Structure 1
């Protein structure tokens, strides 16, 4: 812009040249570590064998089955669950707790419901799914990642990495990209597409998540089989 101004006689010099070498360029984007499909079963079995707090184990399993972010799991409240024993159980996460600031609906599989019901017993009368004696009243933001570290997955896996693993496998299996991206609560970057593409694809995502939960069971070595 300054060079254009100089060429047009609107400025006498380009002051941006004084900053050359003074500002560092952004380094390459760092991707959170995520396990590949062949390694997923070993990680899931490590989680099942975790000797720490039971609620931490259940939180990691819930992340795996729902693709939710750590903060969305940590601050989960029982009032957000709908029709847990009905035909279309789901988790309605309010906009203020989402990174995108858009309400997120999460279809719940039978496996996710079993996890939540066990958590309900542990949480007793707390309004939170993961109550803890912290300033925020819930487990800390490092609880889950430190648990993975104790399992031997430092620099090999992250909580956020479950989302990447799920996305990769589901895309490879041919599931609709829109379903996957909506489940990940990714915001559509194309403004025109976003304006017209408001569907939740709830029934489709429910089918996809049921397949995914069965896939996780099979990878863990449990009785369910992948369809």
Structure 2
């Protein structure tokens, strides 16, 4: 017999769950707690299934029958009502997916493939430049013109490199969304077509080799922290990136074998890098050992020893000494490359010293082992040539096959 409002209202709970049938698969499930739940029982591809249609009295008998009839129509079309409902829920979730959620998911996916410094900088720029404008927006509603406007605003403040990175990140975020099915198109394509023409800049300026004595003299005489002085010297003597130096822990250094091994997690190219240490570099590390040897980091922060020296410290000091636009911490890599190439050293040795590795991982590993001793001699001669220059000695071009 079909159910009635009266029979539903008077139905009492029992010790065990039981059901009252209506018609065409509709039934009312009554739980021991007294809840009355609408269920639709059906078969699909030979399997018995059940679909929830809501709770009584919020869903009345008349409404429950309407929902049942709609589900039966879905069945008549050869579709599984349960799968259709799940698809609808997922579509609703995607419609409400915000740019912030997609961007953070993309960053979490990409971060393990980057050096930690790259991951941190990317997250910082997303938080400061993208999320305030787009974070709350459903990704499906974002258009190309507004992305172009956002990037133009970054260019207007003169941050052309940040704008370039932003265009790349936006494109990757929406491509990630396309692959996941979160968006149906990528509004971040072709943003470079309307990019502003950035003025020519020297990203990592460096002084000529012959001006090193004057720079080192000013650094030694300036009223700066001794660790900053040592950091500048080590950048000059090793050719590593400033971020690799300032975040270096003592455990990476083997002072007995005169090598510094940086794990791939801290490298830009995600490859481990072995740095031979000259006698001069070892002497500086020995002095640093007396200052920060009890801490984890070689360049432990003055206010918090668990955090490294600020990334702006070296460049700020160089600027205050009158070298703004002429020399940066990263610029010592350019100076090293220019000078060693001009002296005729093997280009592969120089590229390996700068951690510009080969894309072929097998050859990359081989070269890493084969060039260490050659680089050790090259970097010792480099350090000696700086000492000789500062002492007024003659610098000769050292040719190597």
Check whether TM > 0.5.
yes
Structure of larger gyration radius: 2
1:7 aligns with none
1:37 aligns with 2:209: yes
Alpha-carbon distance change, 117 to 29 in structure 1, aligned in 2, over 3 angstroms: same
5+ residue gaps, structure 1, are: 1-18
1:9 aligns with none
Per residue, is there more strand in 1 or in 2?
2
5+ residue gaps, structure 2, are: 1-189
1:199 aligns with 367
2:260 aligns with 91
1:119 aligns with 288
CA distance in structure 2 between the aligned counterparts of 1:20 and 1:43, rounded to whole angstroms: 42
Counterpart pick for 1:51 among 201, 223, 238: 223
CA distance in structure 2 between the aligned counterparts of 1:22 and 1:65, rounded to whole angstroms: 42
Q: Aligned-pair RMSD on alpha carbons? A: 2.5
Alpha-carbon distance change, 138 to 224 in structure 1, aligned in 2, over 3 angstroms: farther
Counterpart pick for 1:148 among 315, 318, 324: 318
Using structure 1 for the length normalisation, give the TM-score. Answer: 0.81
Alpha-carbon distance change, 168 to 23 in structure 1, aligned in 2, over 3 angstroms: same
Q: How many residues align?
A: 203
1:81 aligns with 253
CA distance in structure 2 between the aligned counterparts of 1:69 and 1:222, rounded to whole angstroms: 29
SS of 1:158's equivalent?
A: coil
Q: How many Å apart are 1:213 and its aligned residue?
A: 0.5
Counterpart pick for 1:66 among 231, 238, 241: 238
1:217 aligns with 387
Q: How many Å apart are 1:124 and its aligned residue?
A: 4.0
Higher relative contact order structure (alpha carbons within 8 Å, sequence separation ≥ 6): 1
SS of 1:92's equivalent?
A: strand
Determine if contact 1:217/1:225 at 8 Å carries over to the other structure. no
1:173 aligns with 2:173: no
CA distance in structure 2 between the aligned counterparts of 1:129 and 1:177, rounded to whole angstroms: 30
Alpha-carbon distance change, 110 to 223 in structure 1, aligned in 2, over 3 angstroms: farther
CA distance in structure 1 between the aligned counterparts of 2:392 and 2:211, rounded to whole angstroms: 16
Determine if contact 2:295/2:305 at 8 Å carries over to the other structure. no
SS of 1:199's equivalent?
A: helix
1:24 aligns with 2:195: yes
Q: Can you list the C-alpha shifts for 1:6-51, whole angstroms capped at 9, x where unaligned?
A: xxxxxxxxxxxxx899712553564311111222222122222232
